[in-house]
Amino acid sequence: MRFRRLAATVALVWLALATLGPLLAPYSYRAQDRDLILHAPCMRCGMTADGAARAHWLGTDDLGRDVLSRLLLGTRISLTLAIAMAGGALAIAVPVGLWSAVSPAVDVPGRIAGEVVRGLPWIFVLLAVRSALPLNASPVTLVLALVTIFAAATWAVPAWIFRGTARALMQREFMAAARALGASRRYLIYRHLWPNLQPLVWTYFAFLFIAAALAEVSLSMIGLGIPEPLPSLGNMLAVLRNPSLIQHAWWLLAPLGVLLPLLTCLNLYAFSESRRLSG
Amino acid sequence: MLARLLPRILPRLTTLAIALLLGFVLAAHAPGDAFSDLELDPAISPHTLASLRARYAPDQPVGQRLTAWLGAASHGDMGYSFTFHRPVTTLLRERTPSTARLVILAWLLAWSLGVGLAGWAVLSRSTAGAVLRSSLVLATSALASLPLAMLAIAALLWAPVQWLPSLLMAPDNTPTWPWLPAAVLALAFLPLTYLQCANALALAWEKDFVLTALSQGHRPRYVLWRHAFPNTWDTLLPLAALTFAQLLADAVIVETLLNWPGIGQLAVTAVTEHDVPLVAGLVLLTSVVVVATNMLADFLQFLSNPRLRMT
């Protein structure tokens, strides 16, 4: 309970950062400053040709691009992507979970589909999909592929949990009363099941969001994330595949400064909620 | 018994079929083929190229190629990998033990640590200070927020050089036990296993039979492991199978970053090189492993829960 407000506050601040941040970015995400490759954070890093001072508050990366500007846009791209991935999974999980609680016609196929999906080796499927797309596939295509595969891979577990909780709710007196009064299944879902399930759905949104954000970083590491030159928190960290860069250019770890506080707060919220709701 | 197990086996077999179809069709639709690179080589005549293609990548519909491939695969012949210039079966036979060692070691580490920590947390619930317990919660959440890839890179950076697995290769090129990659994988899964065990144990600890055993004068530790723990298997076994599949997936990242020569590393190469037979072979192998693990978990759950055996 006490983490709900903390998580909501941090999430709102980060969303505001993602919305407004890129507007405040001092440089373009793809502008290169070729004299200042891997330069440490500095307020005055020299002069441009027209005499203005160059400032890189978070230093520059291995191609001389401003880390702060890329971080602001990368935050927007990564958060949007993670929200789309988690939302896509819930868009399947919530209807399947709720309808399988009230209707056996959905229950049996839903359960079989869930079993089938849980057994697939998803990262190998993703690798195969990536190889089927041309090397110069547009970022939009890749994002769509990521969202679809993530949603297809992860909907089964939340749907199963929603179904269990909804079935437990169906045994309660108010549900028996509603059914005795002749309420339709659609009415039961909208009026009774969905409002009661909302805290659980938000908890799973948090879990899925965390999984999606982490997956983006890990996939970028093996070159399967958002393609350069667009920045994302994952592909900004991907240069650290050469670990000696961390020792020489610690400021390249900046994306972790965005990712870790947000995900830790969401984890605290999701863990405490799932414990409260399950026990 | 068969009547109870059959509804569980059928979806697993469907999974297998879908995985196979997906792997093969996707790999077959990939632009370019294993010979695209050879086109750039002026020393190779178009004639040679055409005969190579005719032999190894005949211009047939995907369906026909799939049936031909399945027929051969049933005899243990999964085609020839042009990236590595070896038969796919040989490659998989060489690489599978490395990944098996990595995943099994990580799985054992993550679950034994998770169960142990959760048991300790339940037993010391009344004695441990609030500060210690809330810092454990915070540490778990922070650990669960770290990307696996960053854990691997941190290990690469700060672990002593002797621990790195690729340097531990014996002279005859047989891999040793991958302690460091396994520790990285286990650490990434520890929050999940710890929380699931802690939730399950805390639920079991509230049950009447625990109170009875405690009031009979048994030591709490004995009651926990002898009575409460076996009652969590029903919830934990499917999860244990699920984490095995997830570990297999995450092994791809750890193997690539920490240079452990397993099938995950092979998969990344296969995809970038458009090695269709290798991709299909890998998808088949991994889905067989995942399906087999789930079936084993179903069976163990069946044995551990008498209620499932009743009807």
B294 contacts: CB under 8 Å, gap ≥ 6: A118, A119, B12, B238, B241, B245
Most A CBs within 10 A among B250, B252, B255, B257, hence the mutation to make, goes to B252
- Higher-pLDDT residue of B155 and B186 is B186
B80 or B94, greater pLDDT: B94
Only one residue has tokens 């690469």, namely B156
Q: What is the mean pLDDT of residues B141-157?
A: 87
Mean pLDDT of chain B: 81
Residue A159: what pLDDT? Answer: 93
Q: Averaged over A36-64, what is the pLDDT?
A: 75
Q: Count of CB atoms within 10 A of residue B127's CB?
A: 7
Question: Six-digit token pair at A22?
Answer: 């890129």
pLDDT band at A259 (very low <50, low <70, confident <90, very high): very high
Predicted model pTM = 0.87
Of A119, A135, A260, the CB nearest to B287: A119
SS (H, E, C) chain B: CHHHHHHHHHHHHHHHHHHHHHHHHHHHHCCCCCCHHHHHCCCCCHHHHHHHHHHHCCCCCHHHHHHHHHHHHCCCCCCEECCCCEEHHHHHHHHHHHHHHHHHHHHHHHHHHHHHHHHHHHHCCCCCCHHHHHHHHHHHHHHHCCCHHHHHHHHHHHCCHHHCHHHHCCCCCCCCCCHHHHHHHHHHHHHHHHHHHHHHHHHHHCCHHHHHHHHCCCCHHHHHHHHHHHHHHHHHHHHHHHHHHHHHHHHHHHHHHHCCCCHHHHHHHHHHCCCHHHHHHHHHHHHHHHHHHHHHHHHHHHHHCHHHHHC
What distances in angstroms separate CA A39 from CA A57, A256, B185, B209, one per listed residue?
Answer: 10, 19, 33, 65
Residue B311 has pLDDT above 60, yes or no: no
Q: Do residues B99 and B264 lie in contact, with contact meaning Cβ atoms separated by under 8 Å?
A: yes
> Is the bond into A229 cis (omega within 30 degrees of 0)?
yes
Which residue type does B70 have?
A: L
The b/e string for A146-163 (b: 16+ C-beta within 10 A; e otherwise) is bbebbbbbbbbbbbbbbb
Nearest C-alpha in B relative to A132 = B30
pLDDT class for B34, splitting at 50, 70, 90? Answer: low
The pLDDT tens digits of the residues spanning B237-248 come to: 888 888 888 898
Residues A90 and A82: their CA atoms lie apart, in Å, by 12
Look at B177 and B286; give whichever has higher pLDDT: B286
Read off the pLDDT band of B212 (50, 70, 90): very high
Interchain contact, A131 vs B18, CB within 8 Å: no
pLDDT at residue A160 is higher than 70: yes
- How many beta carbons lie within 10 A of that of residue B245, not counting itself? 23
Scanning B111-140 for CB atoms below 8 A from A yields 137-138, 140
Share of chain B above pLDDT 70, in %: 85
pLDDT at B167 > cutoff 50: no
**Inter-residue contact B83 to B269 (CB < 8 Å):** yes
Average pLDDT over residues B34-51: 75
Q: Is the pLDDT of residue A168 over 70?
A: yes
Q: Is the pLDDT of residue B166 over 60?
A: no
The CA dihedral of A99, A103, A107, A113, to the nearest 10 degrees, is -50
- On the question of pLDDT at A213 being above 90, the answer is yes
ipTM score over 0.90, yes or no: no
pLDDT on residue B1 = 61
**Is residue B25 pLDDT above 90, yes or no?**
no
Residue contact B141–A268, C-beta within 8 A:
yes
Question: Is the pLDDT assigned to residue A60 strictly greater than 90?
Answer: no
Stronger pLDDT, B132 or B143, i.e. the higher one: B143
A238 has a pLDDT exceeding 60:
yes
Contact A221 B271 (CB under 8 A): no
CA atoms within 13 A on the CB side of B281: 28
CA gap A151, A195 in Å, rounded: 23
Mean pLDDT of B250-275: 84
Report which listed range, A30-34, B69-73, B112-116, B304-308, is most confident. B112-116
* pLDDT attached to residue B84: 83
pLDDT score of B165: 58
B197 touches chain A (CB under 8 A): no
Query: Which residue in chain A is spatially nearest to B282 when comparing CA positions?
Result: A124
Mean pLDDT, chain A, rounded, equals 86
Among B150, B205, B287, which would you mutate to test the A interface (most chain A Cβ atoms within 10 Å of its Cβ)?
B150
Average pLDDT over residues B53-61: 68
| CA count, 13 A, side-chain hemisphere, B227 | 18
Residue among B138, B195, B194, B193 at smallest CA distance from A264: B138
- Residue B254: closest CA among A10, A143, A245, A222: A222
- Residue B277: the pLDDT is 77
pLDDT tens for A73-128 read: 999 999 999 999 999 999 999 999 999 988 888 888 888 888 888 777 777 778 77
Instruction: Say whether B256 and A130 touch across the interface (CB within 8 A).
Output: no
Cβ neighbour number for residue B126 with a 10 Å cutoff: 6
Burial class (CB in 10 A: 0-12, 13-18, 19+), B70: middle
At A206 the pLDDT is: 93
